[in-house]
Amino acid sequence: MKAVLCKAFGPAETLVLEEVPNPEAKKNEIVMDVHAAGVNFPDTLIIEGKYQFKPPFPFSPGGESAGVISAVGEKVSHLKVGDRVMALTGWGSFAEHVAVPAYNVLPMPETMDFTTAAAFSMTYGTSMHALKQRANLQPGETLLVLGASGGVGLAAVEIGKAMGARVIAAASSADKLAVAKAAGADELINYSETNLKDEIKRLTNGLGADVIYDPVGGDLFDQAIRAIAWNGRLLVVGFASGRIPELPVNLALLKGASVVGVFWGSFAQRQPQDNAANFQQLFNWYAEGKLKPLVSQVYPLEKTADAINALGQRKAVGKVVVRVR
């Protein structure tokens, strides 16, 4: 099979497309014919050795995909050959076939196509877990989403609206904010033109945001934590800015606020039933038309490096997908 391989840590340009042996299903695995694979921020990190997991070389990046099951391990009973599924792989998805533990595989909703399914799990899974289990977001609360035009950001805007929150979307350009507005955001902040902290306070009558969803980190975290409401929750989702911020903890004390870590991958493994319930709700909202995953760019397998760079250079809105077949 063809697979995109990382043979040494480095930029996306160092990835190569080569023939490798087809994977075989271990007892608790399935093998999937990959139709489409989603590109996510961890893909930009894992190939440079900057992610919390460092697979042995050579490995194929790509943490999520959608396709059709071609083989099933002997201990797998709830899935069968021919099923249309979406999978979380950690890595390995930028290839024609991938072996995945069965507990990381979900049947696709009948109305969903492969490109959408490949763009769904990671972003919506992360944002649902963040807003439900970690923030306990309530109807009528104010949710501020930083990096609101990216994959997880847009998902957070949509899920926040579905949960009944007032959503303030913040992004770095008018074009990006237009995407967030189309996803349902009530208010918009362009943080390349205005002061984020001052705008949050203006839009909340000085009260601040109840929940802040932050996949960006850096300077935006520093400003946002200073505009959090009493009893507020700041969700630490990621650090797309490249800088992991440090927190003067007196700010948490003064606002009675919580700074809460969000690691959806671990949650999905440790609390599989809660994760499955999250996805049931997400699929219901999808069927109702409340969630509309935005795939802005689709690349062929041989252009995987360009797909990763589109995301890594923060040029993309919504999701970038690699189409395999």
**pLDDT digits 0-9 by tens, 191-210:** 999 999 999 999 999 999 99
152 with 24, same domain?
no
173 with 69, same domain?
no
Question: Does a structural domain hold residue 283?
Answer: no
Question: Does a structural domain hold residue 276?
Answer: no
Question: Does a structural domain hold residue 103?
Answer: yes
46 with 157, same domain?
no
228 with 256, same domain?
yes
Tell me the pLDDT tens digit for each residue of 273-314. Answer: 999 999 999 999 999 999 999 999 999 999 999 999 998 887
My answer on whether omega of the bond before 107 falls inside 30° of 0, hence cis, is: no
pLDDT at position 38: 97
146 with 240, same domain?
yes
Question: Does a structural domain hold residue 280?
Answer: no
pLDDT at position 313: 83
pLDDT at position 240: 86
105 with 83, same domain?
yes
pLDDT at position 282: 98
164 with 188, same domain?
yes
The structure's pTM equals 0.91
pLDDT at position 21: 96
User: How many domains are contained in the chain?
Assistant: 2
pLDDT at position 53: 82
92 with 153, same domain?
no
160 with 192, same domain?
yes
52 with 14, same domain?
yes
Q: Which domain holds residue 69?
A: 2-120+293-323
Question: Does a structural domain hold residue 181?
Answer: yes
CATH number of the domain residue 46 falls in:
3.90.180.10
69 with 175, same domain?
no
Question: Does a structural domain hold residue 287?
Answer: no
Tell me the pLDDT tens digit for each residue of 148-169. Answer: 998 999 999 999 999 999 999 9
33 with 97, same domain?
yes
**Mean of the per-residue pLDDT values for the chain?**
95
Can you list the residues of the chain whose pLDDT is less than 70? none
Tell me the two tokens of residue 66: 């959608």
